[in-house]
Chains A and B, each alone.
Chain A
Amino acid sequence: MAEILIFVALLALGYGFGRHAETRHYKSIIQREAALRDIPVVTTKFPPLDHPVNAELVTGSVVISVDYFKRFLAALRNLAGGRVTSYESLLDRARREAVLRMKQQTLNLGGHIIFNVKLETASIHKGRGSIGSVEVLAYGTALIHPH
């Protein structure tokens, strides 16, 4: 009986905190994306170099942890198959946050555009019972107009 209560409490905690964090994070992401929209992120490797620019490597890295509720949902998905929607939003947040951090760095350097942008994902997880976190790294080449 005690185990059931602990389990339900963990689920409720995971759901409560996870949901709260996610809603707040998305709000902030949408806001900052609007603010940094004038720094385009481009995947092409070859920028048009019609006038002299400085280039600099910019990176943005995020580590986000899964909550107990999301993990339970994903475990059930493991049996039934289909979209693991609980992880989809987690990774979506991580990707967008990583790009935003990269853009922020570019802004701090005085850059105006980022070329050759790549995203990498790594799961920070070592076997059963360890933390379930994901790292997303965004990196690219920021072009900065010389002063």
Chain B
Amino acid sequence: MDYQNPKIPEGINTSTSHPLKEFFLLTTGVLGVVAIAALLFALLAEQLAIYIPFETELKWAEKITEYKNRETNKQSEPNNVIDSKDTPMKHYLDELAAKISTAQALPPEMKITVHYQDSDVINAFATLGGHVFLFRGLLEELPNENAVAMVLAHEIAHIKHRHPIRSAGRGIIIGMALTMVSSALGNSMINQVLTNTGGLAVLKFSRDQEDEADQTALESLRKIYGHVFGASELFEIMQQAESTRLTPEFLSTHPLSQQRINAIHTFQSKHNIAEEIKLTPLPDGLFKVLTKQTTPE
């Protein structure tokens, strides 16, 4: 018997198509489908998040704070949160927050907790559980109570409209989608890339949410003071700060657009409240306690 192994043509057991072609088809296909699904779910989560009762949000926020406290204690950094202490600043901000809460007609279960942070950061933000953070750096820039009230009213309005929980809902869904993909790919490298790029760390509010918060804040300012000149002043100060030195962080979390300033002016002229402007000064000695604390002898 005669045995032979003739030459077998190439490309039967292997594919002749270019591997890069498959790479692009697969990455765009898989990632595209996952991205669309994640976006859809995120949108849905954002819409449904407002039906989460505020009490539940409070519980979650407590857990987050507990966790964060544990983390900061581990790092043994000096804790510059002094809101537990009974300072004139704390009193003042609490009173102002109470006034604004009444003006915005917050539901009774929606308790606002103002945290005053002794730090140079020019920023303020609202987060889960009705917590509003104000930094000394920002407060020092503000010339009168009206501007402080505008900042506070804006952040409280975020909470009134449930913006933190909506953003968190969106963030959690996107984070879950990313985790799903990375674990399906089973690659620790991809895992790192995805978690770092789509991080949940910062709650970011959309431009619409900022506008909504602005409108509510303006309404409450008008109710309290009869005019909204603190608001325009706040943004003027921010604009000046932006042109003279490094952009304050407040502007990166609250992008300042001409549209936003225009909206304030429209509000002003619509309600025709420019007759008699009385700006409320800040009470004396607000920062005194702080300076004593920050410069120990």
Contacts and interface: CB of A to CB of B under 8 A. Distances in A.
Given A77-B26, A79-B30, A80-B26, A37 B7 contact: yes
A76 B30 contact: yes
A3 B30 contact: no
B29 A80 contact: yes
What is the predominant secondary structure among interface residues of chain A facing chain B? Answer: helix
Given A33-B7, A85-B14, A92-B14, A76 B186 contact: no
Contacts of B30: 76, 79-80
A73 B193 contact: no
A107 interface: no
B189 interface: yes
B192 interface: yes
Contacts of B184: 75, 78-79
Given A42-B3, A92-B13, A7 B190 contact: yes
A70 to B, nearest CB: 8
B185 A73 contact: no
Nearest to B23: A73
Interface in B182-230: 184-190, 192-193, 196-197
A15 B197 contact: no
A84 B211 CA distance: 50
Contacts of A98: none
A145 interface: no
B292 to A, nearest CB: 42
Contacts of A33: 7
Nearest to B185: A75
A4 B186 CA distance: 16
B1 A48 contact: yes
Contacts of A73: 19, 22-23, 26
B7 A129 contact: no
A75 B14 contact: no
Interface residues of B, number: 30
A39 B15 CA distance: 27
A79 B4 CA distance: 42
Interface in B1-45: 1, 3-5, 7, 10, 13-15, 17, 19-20, 22-23, 26-27, 29-30
Task: Name the residue in B3, B27, B187 with the highest tally of chain A Cβ atoms < 10 Å from its Cβ.
Answer: B3
Given A73-B26, A80-B29, A88-B15, A40 B4 contact: yes
A128 B183 CA distance: 11
Contact of A6 (B22, B23, B26, B189): B189
Nearest to B1: A48
B189 A3 contact: yes
Interface string A61-99: 000000001111101111110010110110010000000
Contacts of A10: 189
Interface in A2-19: 3-4, 6-7, 10, 15, 19
Interface of B: 1, 3-5, 7, 10, 13-15, 17, 19-20, 22-23, 26-27, 29-30, 181, 184-190, 192-193, 196-197
Given A7-B190, A69-B19, A72-B187, 7 more contacts: A26-B10, A30-B10, A42-B3, A70-B19, A76-B30, A79-B181, A85-B14
